[in-house]
Amino acid sequence: MLQSSREPMTQAAPLISLRHVSKRFANGTLALNDLSLDIAQGEFVSLLGPSGCGKSTALRIIAGLANASGGKLEWPSASGATPVAEHGAEISFVFQEPTLMPWATVFGNVHLPLKLKGVSRTAARDDVMAALDMVGLAGFADSYPRELSGGMKMRVSIARALVTKPRLLLMDEPFAALDEITRFKLNNDLLHLWSTFGWTVIFVTHSVFESVYLSNRIVVMAARPGRVVEDMTVDAPYPREEEFRTSSLYNDYCRKASEALHRAMEASEGS
């Protein structure tokens, strides 16, 4: 089996493998064209690209929330030929909006994934409180979402994603709507959790800085049609702390990623 090393393991069987995936919507939009991507166990991959390049669509296909029009999605490391749908239990999704149920308390919101699997409130209590503890919100279990700030709501959303102990965490621009200070804080928290638990993360962002800070691999996408134009490794050691943001290594990678993004945008306009 794979060890929880932080290095991408290209030689081992990837966790998920997208093979020539394309997606055409009913209105004719070709959102993804011939997308091939292997994601290794334990990787922190950022999908970076201009808006409309199909990042969300790719994530939804991986989550099983949308069907690919062509190509296929495989879970090679899973034993035998388990259908994709069965991996639902191992996937968590964090949306750009906190997407909390306003009528439920913080506890109720984090309990939701377990409740849907038939785990009662009492039985789930420890897991829910542990997840809230991870995001620093254990004291707010009985609060309602509207009593929380934007950053706290996002933390609840992350706690809900973590409560099922997922193998794969999909995040669709989760911090895009937050102010910079809160975003930096949540970036650090996320990295810390990731290094503790070693899940695989696919993180959608349109921020070059965020993608370099967080990930060990950046997949740059271009639009019309959505496709991968660059796949770069960020070879900087973890743990990454605030000093990393001011290091020259960080700057170099930001410049590289930024150039790649510009090329992607030119490619998008050219088509």
Partner 1 sequence: MSFPASETDLGAGVSASPTSLATDGGRSGGGRSRILRFAVPVFMLVLLVAAWSLYVAAYDVPHYILPSPRRVAEALVADWSVLGPALLVTLKITFLALLIALVGGVALAVLLSESRLAELALYPYAVILQVTPIVAIAPLILIYVPSTQAALLICAWIVAFFPVLSNTTQGLKSTDHNLLDLFRLYGASRWQTLAYLKMPNALPYFLAGLRIAGGLALIAAVVAEFAAGSAGAGSGLAFRLIESQFRLNIPRLFAALILLSMTGVLIFAVTSFVSHLLLRRWHESALKREV
Ligand X SMILES: Nc1ncnc2c1ncn2[C@@H]1O[C@H](COP(=O)(O)OP(=O)(O)O)[C@@H](O)[C@H]1O
Which residues would be at the binding site for ligand X (CB under 6 A)?
Answer: 25, 27, 29, 31, 49, 51-57, 226
Contact between 17 and Mg ion by CB under 5 A: the answer reads: no
| Residue (32 or 163) nearer to ligand X, CB | 32
> For residue 189, how far is the Cα from the chain centroid?
14
- Asked if 42 and 6 count as a contact pair (C-beta separation under 8 A), the reply is yes
Give the span between the Cα atoms of 219 and 203, in whole angstroms: 10
- Listed residue (238, 220, 240) closest to 230, CA to CA: 220
| Residue (28 or 103) nearer to partner 1, CB | 103
Contact between 205 and Mg ion by CB under 5 A: the answer reads: no
The footprint of Mg ion on residues 45-104 (CB under 5 A) is: 56
Q: Tell me which residues touch partner 1 (CB under 8 A).
A: 60, 63-65, 88-89, 91-93, 95, 97, 99, 101-104, 112-113, 115-117, 136, 140, 143-149, 151-152, 164, 181-182, 184-185, 242-243
| Residue (60 or 155) nearer to ligand X, CB | 60
Q: What is the 3-state secondary structure (H, E, C) of 183-208?
A: HHHHHHHHHHHHHHHCCEEEEEECCH
Which tokens is 110 given? 């984090």
Residues 6+ apart with CB under 8 A from 42: 2, 4, 5, 6, 8, 9, 198, 199, 200
| Residue (14 or 225) nearer to Mg ion, CB | 225
| Residue in the shown chain whose Cβ atom is closest to Mg ion | 56
User: Which stretches of the chain bind Mg ion, using CB under 5 A?
Assistant: 56
